[in-house]
Amino acid sequence: MEDMNVDLLFHHGGKWTLKPHLLYDERYCVRHVEANWMKRFRTGEMKKLMWWAAWCTYEEDFKDQLNALGALSEEAAKDLVKFPPQKWCRTYFDTVCKNQMVDNNFTESFNSWILVPRGKPILKMLEEIRVKLMNRLRKKEKEAETWNIHYKHSPKCMELFIAYSKIANLCKLEFNGDLGFEVSEGEDRHIVNIVEKCDSRSWQLTGIPCPHAIKALRYKNIEPRDEISWWYTKEAYLKTYEAKLLPMRGEQFWQVLPEHAMDPPDLVKTVGRPKFKRDREKNAAIKRAGEWSHSRKGTKMTCSKCGSQAHNAR
């Protein structure tokens, strides 16, 4: 299966857009935007600037990254914005959903997780996936119940919060005497209103106080941890596991009504050996012996014994 087959995009009328059955507030997967865009522009510097643009949380930073990309190639910058930035750049994401993800790694990892069952007949595939999910949900719920009782938020959330707190220690603050603060982080300066608002938008996007907000909240003697969104709490996490997958009896107990009986599909044998691996992009890395590496195509092979390129060790 190719990457584009699991994407949210399709090509119609000369431009990329969302599949018709999806709502228009869905986000594009930047990984697949990159794959399509880099078919024409294959440089590491352009790729880096494209990802930096996707990670920007406010418009001025996004335009700076776009201008830097345009300095390398004006055509590349124009081609990138053909993919609507409102769909793949954090700058334009809605702040109602406390999630700043720009890729579709969740789906990709799930597909990899069910790779073995996917190669089996439909009923066996569905049964194995159901059992795997049932066990995973139970395991994750049990893990959440062991979270540190001194922190009511998830460990991943606290990791990010602690990292932000360390950055906040390096920030400088100016106060207007009311609710407004100027917080400087290096050469950047942002305005913070302690009523859950920072003009960097990071606080609004994630629901976790950013370094600028943490600095302002500390100044007002407000515990920054108390301002973390409820969606990161242990209570909210456990609510996702309230609905359980129910056990099922064996196949011999299943009742099949005559009108619902189905014949197996016609067996179509294709030429050659069956293919199981998905088609990868030309510049995609593959995993060998637990390490990510690129193809050996185009490299010069040498003998490991004498170092000659005329032959190999075999």
Tell me: do 10 and 76 sit in the same domain.
yes
How many domains in the chain? 3
pLDDT in tens, 115-147: 999 989 888 999 999 999 999 999 999 999 888
Considering 234, 267, 300, which residue would you say is the last residue of a domain?
234
Tell me: do 163 and 213 sit in the same domain.
yes
Q: Does residue 211 lie within any of the structural domains?
A: yes
Long-range contacts of 125-134 (CB under 8 A, 24+ apart): 127/248, 130/245, 130/248, 133/245, 134/244, 134/245, 134/247
Q: Does residue 248 lie within any of the structural domains?
A: no
User: Residue 63's pLDDT is what?
Assistant: 95
pLDDT in tens, 191-236: 999 887 899 999 999 999 999 999 999 999 999 999 999 999 999 9
User: Residue 27's pLDDT is what?
Assistant: 85
Residues of the chain above pLDDT 90, percent:
50
Distance CA(36)–CA(40), nearest Å, equals 8
Considering 184, 199, 234, which residue would you say is the last residue of a domain?
234
Is the model's pLDDT at 38 over the cut of 90? Answer: no
pLDDT in tens, 256-299: 888 887 787 788 888 888 776 777 666 565 555 455 555 666 67
Residue 305 — pLDDT band, cuts 50, 70, 90?
Answer: confident
Distance CA(127)–CA(54), nearest Å, equals 39
Tell me: do 86 and 19 sit in the same domain.
yes
Considering 92, 116, 133, which residue would you say is the last residue of a domain?
92
Q: Does residue 71 lie within any of the structural domains?
A: yes
Q: Does residue 33 lie within any of the structural domains?
A: yes
Domain hosting residue 129, numbered range: 105-148
DSSP 145-204: HTS-TT--B-HHHHHHHHHHHHHHTT-EEEE-SSSEEEEEETTEEEEEETTTEETT-HHH
Tell me: do 139 and 166 sit in the same domain.
no
Is the model's pLDDT at 18 over the cut of 70? Answer: no
